[in-house]
Chain A
């Protein structure tokens, strides 16, 4: 197939390290004794727990219901007893614990009654069913799939891109999924196509995965609708949604817009597979493939129940002496794990076990020499060296002017920097600072408004009192005046004026009361909201600390 491909800008090509883990078959990980299932595994509102401690649950049973427009359900990955609903450490960037449901498994792995869905059902109904099945994007951002599968008022999204471009080194879970389960993936794609009303289906796979390409091509030949399997050049971050769109269509997603605005939607192959399980078998999303690789004896891919603690997987793959830490994700954008007790979540694509030999400690940073290698590597066409300068100087306004928020944190700039400056950390720090300031500003705006309103009210009350007194005095005077003159001409209007003033004052008071209550809502935060704020604060402090890790030169400055 000779589709015209487009080259996205920038990018790097780090050593791939794929061969270590992609040759073994998919191995099901055994059922752990305890499953810890976080209620927030996706972007949006965390799910609401719908079970109680002590309750017995079956495999696939709903334990957390979606809450709000952007949210996703959470299910028991196996049968057993709920032993706790509390805050536990989770594998999140922030390193902060989150609400989880702990299930002591009973070993029977007993399913709830489940049946296939009707794949041709009305799209809105089907989407609601998918949301209840907990289908979220498995490619990284973990966006609830029902939201992404809603083409909006236009009712169709012409181009559906299925992303098999696994561009981070080491990770192979999508690769082996495509090799072994290509048919299922395309069944899921068929449903997506139906929901989005797409006319064009493209599957982008990096050309360093010939087996996956072949398997997907074979599967595509069996489909009733045209699916184009396209080999794209292997270059990081070619598997990023925006880069994949550009490679396949030559179009860029406008800054600050969604891909659907240009009629394109992108799903990871893992999401398509999960969708197929949900529609064809009625199975909610309770397991996924996880690559365990790096410094282990048998790097491979496991089919893992959500909630399985990480250490069981590393034991399965064969842990070795000299481990220096574990990343969730790849070496470019992965997150170091605070502990191996944290569970596998929907976002867990890879556990990369580090050692000194594989990941030597990064050299100390030197000052920026403005060589612009970072700019050459940046797929977002940013000027990383300038962003760095502004972030370091605390000049966040300029950083924003230089499009800080278009940075996708891919790490290409840090990767190529000959001065070894941890550039991405500075951007994360700057973004966090800007968010925090916005929040502070909003809070102070509210406070200022409230203060101004108070002054205004005091002023008005004074005026009202004066008016009332004046009106009374006037009435008195009028009364006195009417006595000798019987029916004076001037009395009636005065009385009417006084009445009008009274009514106006009462109205103003009512108005005041109404607007007074409005800002109060801001004080009245729910514990959940307060917790979120605290969480953000903590994350911010942490990032700030990280980014402040001084360059060598700063350290020595007096």
Chain B
């Protein structure tokens, strides 16, 4: 008998469903650019996530239906799958997903209670534990002659394909290439002449980034996410990269290149915007996004990993409660302010 007696039609399931829907343009682009292997990865991750979620709910004595149908586990699975290399072996996918759901989500208290973004925890664990396997990226269609079919991808993922086949289609990502090139004392311009680099980002990769951007903008238009986190995140990356590039263009990549890495767009619109683990106040969201963008660039530039999005977001997750505390908005009647 609580008031209000009416509710908006929205539900957690609906919010999550929109997030999944907004990932579809990215997935379609992915398939078009890198072949259908990602579909196998997505399916495997989803199945693992749902099974793990069900098992954990059961173990913790929670009802299955409301929590399985809230789709939050599926979102975690998809975000992780899209962050993994496209031909990652099956056990890598399963391990990462299990870690995300069991440890990062349920051991921290389940939906709404987790401190860290589950998908990013899964990713971080994998890249720390299995750095080599985490580079099994299929090359973009434009650059590799052979492309694996769905069945071939499945065989590759489940470990049935000979290593030679895999080597024929996988290659380093643009970020890897840049990093390795810089370590070999090449200048950015020299590295950038390699075919893997396209107009702004990596060949193909930039289109993927655009697709994620489109999905993210749709989420914003639907008011599923606010503008603060994505904008601040992108600004953080762009400003930091821009500053470094301005400082020494020979050693630091162009800001557009860094911005149009798919991981940045995915991170800005889909991962950093995770409400559970992010900051919640309007100003806090800006701080959170800026911080994550800056850290992403810091890790890419000076850290031990080619891409910094996952660690940047995890680090900001830790800071989120503090950010919230110091950015509490002024409540009604606390001063004079009026908007038209």
Contact = CB atoms under 8 A, between A and B. Distances in A.
A380 B331 CA distance: 6
Interface stretch (A419-427, A460-468, A478-486): A419-427
A369 B10 contact: no
Interface stretch (A1-9, A106-114, A263-271): A1-9
Nearest to B62: A556
B112 A414 contact: no
A336 B1 contact: yes
B280 A14 contact: no
B2 interface: yes
Interface in B307-333: 324, 328-333
B4 A424 contact: yes
Contact of A411 (B4, B329, B337): B4
Contact of B331 (A255, A359, A373, A417): A255
B164 interface: no
A159 B222 CA distance: 40
Interface residues of B, number: 45
Interface string B96-130: 00000000000000111100000000000000000
Given A6-B339, A381-B332, A383-B281, A552 B6 contact: no
B6 A252 contact: no
Contacts of B72: 369
Contacts of A202: none
B14 interface: yes
B62 A553 contact: yes
A260 B251 CA distance: 64
Interface residues of A, number: 68
Contacts of A546: 1-2
Interface string B139-160: 0000000000000000000000
Contact of A250 (B276, B331, B333, B338): B338
B12 interface: yes
Contact of B2 (A354, A368, A425, A556): A425
A246 interface: yes
Contacts of B226: 372, 376
Contact of A415 (B7, B63, B339): B7
A370 B329 contact: no
Given A4-B340, A418-B14, A359 B6 contact: yes
Please classify the interface of chain A as helix (H, G, I), strand (E, B), loop, or mixed, using the class held by over half of its residues: loop
Nearest to A352: B5
Contact of A402 (B5, B275, B328): B328
Interface string A494-506: 0000000000000
A403 B333 CA distance: 11
B61 interface: yes
A7 B340 contact: yes
B4 A252 contact: no
A438 interface: no
B193 interface: no
B70 interface: yes
Given A252-B337, A383-B281, A385-B280, A169 B332 contact: no
Contacts of B60: 556
With most chain B CB atoms within 10 A of its CB, the pick from A14, A371, A403, A424 is: A371
Contacts of A376: 226
A138 interface: no
A558 B61 contact: yes
Contact of B4 (A253, A332, A380): A332
B5 A354 contact: yes
Contact of B6 (A9, A331, A556): A331
B280 A372 contact: yes
Interface string B51-87: 0000000001111001100101000000000000000
B328 to A, nearest CB: 7
Contact of A369 (B276, B332, B335): B276
A249 to B, nearest CB: 8
Given A422-B2, A556-B63, A255 B334 contact: yes
Given A252-B336, A369-B112, A419-B112, 5 more contacts: A332-B4, A383-B281, A386-B324, A416-B10, A557-B61
By Cβ-Cβ distance, the 6 closest A-B pairs, closest first, are: A250-B338, A367-B112, A411-B4, A255-B333, A422-B2, A371-B275
22 contacts: A7-B340, A251-B338, A252-B336, A253-B333, A254-B333, A254-B334, A332-B5, A362-B5, A363-B11, A367-B113, A369-B12, A369-B15, A369-B72, A370-B112, A370-B275, A370-B280, A372-B226, A375-B280, A383-B328, A553-B111, A556-B60, A556-B61
